[in-house]
Amino acid sequence: MSMPNATAPTVTTTYAVTGMSCGHCESAVTKAVGALGAVRAVAVDVAAGRVTVTTAGEPDDAAVAEAVDDAGYELAGRV
């Protein structure tokens, strides 16, 4: 039995996120976004207000936005 995400090409997408200001922010966003199923890696740049997400296939922007919102921040869109 094959897993569809195992062979999907990885896609790296950068999002603007508002409200982050510290290491706790970085940890909260990393944990929330990293818990999404297709996410392979998350890199948070608090100073730039950016989150770079590597996914198996195209990312689900709505799911990423919801995860960021659940962590207490706001996704402002792709950059």
Predicted local confidence at residue 17, as pLDDT: 98
Q: Is the pTM of this model over 0.75?
A: yes
Sheet containing 50-56: order of strands: 39-45, 50-56, 10-18, 74-78
Predicted local confidence at residue 3, as pLDDT: 52
State how far the Cα of 78 lies from the Cα of 24, in Å rounded to an integer. 22
State how far the Cα of 29 lies from the Cα of 67, in Å rounded to an integer. 8
Mean pLDDT by 10 residues, the chain (79 residues): 64 98 97 96 98 96 97 97
